[in-house]
Copies of this chain bind each other. A is one copy, B any other.
Amino acid sequence: MSPVAFCGLELAHPVLNGSGTFDAIAARRVFGDALLAAFPFSAFVSKTITLAPRDGNPPPRLWEAAAGMLNSIGLPNKGLQRYLAEDLPQLAQLPVPLVTNVMGANAAELCALVEACDARGEIAALELNVSCPNVATGLDLGADPASLAPVLREVRPLTRKPLIVKLTPNTADVARVAQAAEAEGADAVSLINTLRGMAAHPDGSGRPWLGGGRGGLSGPALRPVALAQVAAVAERVAIPIVGMGGIQTAAHARQFLAAGATLVAVGTESFRDPTVAGRLGLALADLAAQSGTAAP
């Protein structure tokens, strides 16, 4: 297969998973080692890890929308220490590089997360989630260049691993935020995260369906929004872009690549079809090699 270059990593094809939309450890329990033999993604992005463990939001956590879904998962995770101790050894068995996605409520937390991850050889790159719509802090941080920049200034020097900033789509001008990330030394940006949304309880009471109240919209419904944001960011930054949001087919992925993305990620569509990303990867590997969309 034709390798795709991304921030110094050599990837077999340009298709990743969206953070939080594939649990390689759980999938191995379900599918066995067949998962490793046909691993669909060219790098594996972990679910968002936080400093302290989190249970996540009360159920229901899911709502099916028109051509998409809302989730209010609430970033459940074991916390940094148990992630490093328990999950990393298992994730190291995957046949692809590992990207660890982290979120902190403030600069100090993010620094602690990034420093700890920097020390671990199993981790090939870091993704900073400054965009999760379910947790107030993540939202505020990434919606405004002025609040993002000082945080990145503290975090960036703490690792030489590639640093990807995952942007929030819930902002007036995502390209300005991307420019701030580039200026502060981000190696790449990824977008889009889910759009803030809400579902009413079908009992007609007016209360929200989701246990967490608001949720995040993903899937084909938001693909036009994602494509517009990727194109807007590509016009304004030179660093590589991981484009995502509603990608279902190789044609969709090509649209994101043509709009300026170097890599793409599949999230929601993997829920419907767990091997779809591998087929897209196969279809896109040659294209990526030919067109030289690969960034240095």
Contacts and interface: CB of A to CB of B under 8 A. Distances in A.
Interface of A: 63, 65-68, 70, 143-144, 170-173, 195-200, 204-206, 208, 214-215, 217, 220-225, 227-229, 231, 246, 251, 254-255, 258-259
Nearest to A205: B258
A102 B227 CA distance: 29
A183 to B, nearest CB: 20
Contacts of A67: 66-68, 220-221
Nearest to A170: B172
A167 to B, nearest CB: 12
Contact of A221 (B222, B227, B255): B222
A143 B176 CA distance: 14
- Majority secondary structure, A binding face: mixed
Count copies of this chain in the complex. Answer: 2
A254 B224 contact: no
Nearest to A140: B172
A260 to B, nearest CB: 9
A66 B196 contact: no
Contacts of A196: 225, 228-229
Nearest to A220: B66
Contacts of A206: 255, 258-259
Nearest to A68: B221
